[in-house]
Amino acid sequence: MEWFDLTVVTGSLPEFWRGLWMTLQLTAIALVVGFAFAVPLSIARVSKNPWMSAPVRAYTYFFRGTPMLVQLLLVYYGVGQSEWIQGMWETGNPFWLLFRDAYFCALVAFSLNTCAYQLEMFAGAIRNTPHGEVEAATAMGMTRATALRRIILPSALRRALPPLSNEVILMLQGSAIASAVTLVDLTGAARNVYSRHYAPFEAFIFAGLLYLAVTFILVGLFRVAENRWLAHLQPRRSASAQKD
């Protein structure tokens, strides 16, 4: 094949692995941080008190209504280059110095973004909790907090698994924009390989295949998780189907 020179790929394998590792790190950390904030915020989102729900609503409106690329640029170039932050840099405060680091900025932008999507999913699942579950909890004498912790959240988070698997895959794909702020993730590695060898097919098709492979693995893992935690919601199998 004239247009696909395999030696370009094999010669750059270490570079691709490093990029893949960076992609996996960014995706995993952002998803976990986003999840940690999304659970409490989703409770605030469904609150009847507007002082609790309105700020969360404004946050998701902004982060779900704008492209993640612009959010990333806003955090990295926007926040980092504002005079106020640069003044903070001069004081040597270690927290603000972090905003000079592209890796940290990407994590901030990705986490804020995925948190907004995840919290709306969880809020939707909480709203759809069957009445009977909540009533049963009240009848058992549980307080609101106990019912939330023992009944509503476990039930809602399980039902949020299918949309969550979608979000995990979208986050993996979305992290490809990290190369816009000088990070060498899988896409960044492919761009470097392309510009060094002027070999667009080798670089981008191989990177695409790696993304595809990771996506398949993630889809498989979520299928296992759904079989485990959503088994009670699956349609009952007929006697004949149970044999195989």
Partner 1 sequence: MDALIEYSPSLLAGAWVTLKVAILSLLLAVSTGLFGAACKLSKIAPLRWWTALYTTVVRGVPDLVMMLLVFYGGQVLLNQVSDRLEWEMIELNAFAAGVLTIGFIFGAYFTETFRGAFQAVPVGQMEAGRAYGMSGWQVFWRILFPQMLRYALPGMGNNWLVLLKSTAIVSMIGLSDMTWLADQAGRTTHQPFAFYLAVCVLYLAMTSVSNAVFQRLERRYNVGVREANV
Residue count, binding to partner 1 (CB under 8 A): 41
Binders of partner 1 among 100-139, rule CB under 8 A? none
Is residue 52 involved in binding partner 1 (CB under 8 A)? no
Among 28, 29, 39, 73, binds partner 1 (CB under 8 A): 73
Residue 218 and residue 28: Cα distance in Å, rounded? 12
Among 133, 215, 222, 229, binds partner 1 (CB under 8 A): 215
Residue 238 and residue 231: Cα distance in Å, rounded? 15
Closest C-alpha to 208, from 196, 193, 197, 220: 193
Binders of partner 1 among 138-197, rule CB under 8 A? 169, 172-177, 179-180, 187, 190-191, 194
Is residue 54 involved in binding partner 1 (CB under 8 A)? no
Is residue 200 involved in binding partner 1 (CB under 8 A)? yes
Q: 21: which 2 tokens?
A: 């590792």
Among 43, 44, 68, 152, binds partner 1 (CB under 8 A): 68
Least distance in angstroms from the C-beta of 165 to partner 1 = 12
Question: Given the rule CB under 8 A, which residues bind partner 1?
Answer: 3, 61-62, 65-71, 73-74, 77-79, 81-82, 169, 172-177, 179-180, 187, 190-191, 194, 198, 200-201, 204-205, 207-208, 211-212, 215-216
